[in-house]
Copies of this chain bind each other. A is one copy, B any other.
C-alpha cells in the first residue's frame, strides 16, 4: 500500500527566513519512501516566503499551486500565481527564485525537486553558495567567488 492520506504526510515546521510566521512543509516523498525526488505540500502563512531567493546548479524544481494567491519572485520579476498555475526552475538557470505569500490568506503549493548527488545552491542576494554533497552529513558554504564563508542561516 502506497496510498497516503494527508495526515500521513510528514510535518516539518520550518524557520521563516526574514519574515512572518513559520512555514509548514508536509513531506510526501519521505512519507512514501521515495529517494529520487523530493515532493511536499508547502503551506505559507501571509507574509512568509518559501526560502531565500536561490537557484540550483543540478536539481530541476517545479511548483504547482493548490490554494491561494502566491507571488513567484524570479530575479526582479514578480508573477502572481493562482490555483492550477505552475512554475518550473530548470537546473543551472542562474536566476534566484522563491515563493512569497503577500496575500491575506494561507497558500498551499505542491513542490517537487530532483535529488542530485552533488548540487550548488546559489543565493544571489547574499553572495553565498551552499555546496551540497549528499554523501556527506553537512552542507558547506562559500561566497559566489568561492571563498569559504559562513552560513546565512547561522
Binds B, one of A30-38, A42-50, A132-140, A142-150: A30-38
Q: Does A13 contact B (CB under 8 A)?
A: no
Q: A39: nearest residue on chain B (CB-CB)? A: B62
Please state if B60 and A2 are interface contacts (CB–CB under 8 Å).
no
Cβ B88 vs Cβ A59 within 8 A: no
Instruction: Select one of B9, B37, B84 contacting A37, CB under 8 A.
Output: B37
Is there a chain B Cβ closer than 8 Å to A86's Cβ? Answer: yes
Quick check: B34 and A79 within 8 Å, CB to CB?
no
CA distance A93 to B89 in the complex (A): 30
Taking A32-B62, A86-B28 as contacts, is the C-beta distance between A79 and B3 under 8 angstroms? Answer: yes
> What's the number of copies of this chain in the assembled complex?
2
User: Are B6 and A88 interface neighbours, CB within 8 A?
Assistant: no
A28-B62, A29-B62, A62-B32 known; A2-B88 Cβ under 8 A: yes
> For the complex, what is the distance from the CA of A27 to the CA of B147, rounded to whole Å?
41
Contact with B along A61-99 (1 / 0, CB 8 A): 010101000001010010101001111111101000100
- Sort chain A's interface into a size bin: 35 or more
Q: Does A114 contact B (CB under 8 A)?
A: yes
Q: Which residue of B lies closest to A8 (CB)?
A: B86
- In the complex, the answer to whether A33 meets B85 with C-beta atoms within 8 Å is no
Mark A residues whose CB is within 8 Å of B.
Answer: 1-6, 9, 28-29, 31-37, 39, 59-60, 62, 64, 66, 72, 74, 77, 79, 81, 84-91, 93, 97, 110, 112, 114
